[in-house]
A = this chain, B = another copy of it.
Amino acid sequence: MEEQSTPIKATITPFQTKTIRCIVKLGGAAITCKSELETVNEENLNIVSTQLRQMMFSGSDSGKVPGMDWSKRPGMSETPSINDEYCDQFNLDPEKFIIVHGAGSFGHFQASKSGVHKGGLSQPLVKAGFVATRISVTSLNHEIVRALAKEGIPSIGMSPFSCGWSTSKRNMEAADVTMVVKALESGFVPVLHGDAVLDTSQGCTILSGDVIIRYLAAELKPEFVVFLTDVLGVYDRPPTEPGAVLLREIAVHEDGSWSVVNPIIQDAKNQVVVTVAAHDTTGGMVTKISEAAMIAKLGIDVYIVKAATEQSKTALSGHLKHNVPESWLGTIIRLVR
């Protein structure tokens, strides 16, 4: 939600033994119904979960999987049935993925009503809003963890607040990734989220999913990062405007500057800034490109793609690193040396 520009120190935690395959952002707009308060986009979430499972477990493209959500659901039978032997037929050791999700129609109402991002915990409204925001975003986290677990992904919900992550002047400060790495090493898939956190200078703020991803990417150096969103990728202007052009590839230079290389557009960078900024002041596509460019600068490919499509499946497979099919629609942001 907020852009933060402090340079991030990249240190690899010593006990990390196997490469992180991918960090995936589940965009709030893609997995919730943005216009309906606290409503999950079940259809998208289910497709995304299936695609993720397919990419995490090689060879499990079809067939049954052992569900890991054994909890009651409204309107369903009281006792979930678990077949002990059934589980043991499966390899439940996935490729190392980390999932980070946004808030969508969860949390935003509570946060904006109370101004949590601006801090001031001594004000009762801010304090109440902090509590209310965490209730809402952790509720979404719980739903996502359940959807992934139902699909057979050993997902583990981890709240940045509980992980001890905090900010200073709204910039990431303390963020120990030890527990995220331990969860990965134990064969789990950590599921983090944008969260209300403590801030040493202003009391509290909102730590966005995008900032978390940038931080994790710098710390853990995944092979690639995928942003799943509700449009095909990054456009040169709001995609609903006539003539909007999908930016297929953005090249990031070693000094951190970036330019659109496909399609070739005159003065593309400024054009994007001007047209996008007008409709999205709180961290839309320009923030996304800036965040993504900072990740790409580390040599990590970033794919921005529409969730729950063939395009997202291709992006999650990692094949784009070596070969981008002509038919693939989305935005690739990568370092050129």
Contacts and interface: CB of A to CB of B under 8 A. Distances in A.
Contacts of A84: 113, 125
Contact of A37 (B37, B79, B91, B162): B79
Contact of A161 (B79, B127, B156): B156
A7 interface: no
Interface string A187-220: 1100000000010000110000000000000000
A144 to B, nearest CB: 11
A134 B141 CA distance: 13
Interface residues of A, number: 66
Contacts of A129: 70
Interface string A174-185: 001011001100
A78 B135 contact: no
A178 B198 contact: no
Taking the full assembly, how many copies of this chain does it contain? 2
B121 A187 contact: yes
Contact of A131 (B68, B89, B131, B135): B68
Given A37-B78, A146-B135, A124 B70 contact: no
B131 A156 contact: yes
A128 B68 contact: yes
A142 B138 contact: yes
A129 B186 CA distance: 14
A114 B69 CA distance: 13
Interface string A109-150: 110011000000101110111111011101100100110010
Contacts of A166: 182
A88 B161 contact: no
Interface of A: 36-38, 66-72, 74, 78-79, 82, 84, 87-92, 109-110, 113-114, 121, 123-125, 127-132, 134-136, 138-139, 142, 145-146, 149, 154-159, 161-164, 166, 176, 178-179, 182-183, 186-188, 198, 203-204
Given A135-B145, A138-B157, A158-B159, 12 more contacts: A66-B128, A68-B127, A68-B131, A82-B114, A82-B128, A84-B113, A84-B125, A91-B124, A127-B154, A134-B157, A164-B164, A164-B176
